[in-house]
Amino acid sequence: MAMLEDAHRVLKPDGIFISISFGQPHFRRPLFDSPKFTWSVEWNTFGDAFHYFFYVLKKGRRSLDGKVSSERVQPPSISLLHKTAILV
């Protein structure tokens, strides 16, 4: 919780904090939706074998005025498998 408090404290209005975690939304949302914070929360999953959760917290407005939501963002365009070029 201390990490979230410090992230919220140093973010400017409309600042964005991104958290990538194995923590599922039903465990993380109670922390993110604490009355201490004034940010909206969006999330999505990515990964095949293991699911990672990508949370976007934007300071300035609470998600649905404090109501719990399942607002999801579009998956990030991250490919964990990419081609590399070998120059000889």
**pLDDT, tens digit (0-9, with 9 covering 90-100), for 43-70:** 999 888 888 999 999 998 876 644 444 4
Residue 47 counted as domain residue: yes
The domain of 62 spans: 2-66
- Tell me if 87 is assigned to some domain: no
At 72 the three-state DSSP class reads strand
Is 45 within the bounds of a domain? yes
Residue 86 domain-assigned?
no
| Domain-embedded: residue 28 | yes
Per the structure, the count of domains in the chain is: 1
Cα(50)–Cα(69) distance, integer angstroms? 24
Contact 26, 53 (CB under 8 A): no
Residue 78 included in any domain = no
CB atoms within 10 A of CB 42: 16
Q: Is residue 72 part of a domain?
A: no
The CA distance from 51 to 45, in Å, is: 6
> Residue 73: what pLDDT?
52
| Pairing state between β 39-46 and 16-21 | unpaired
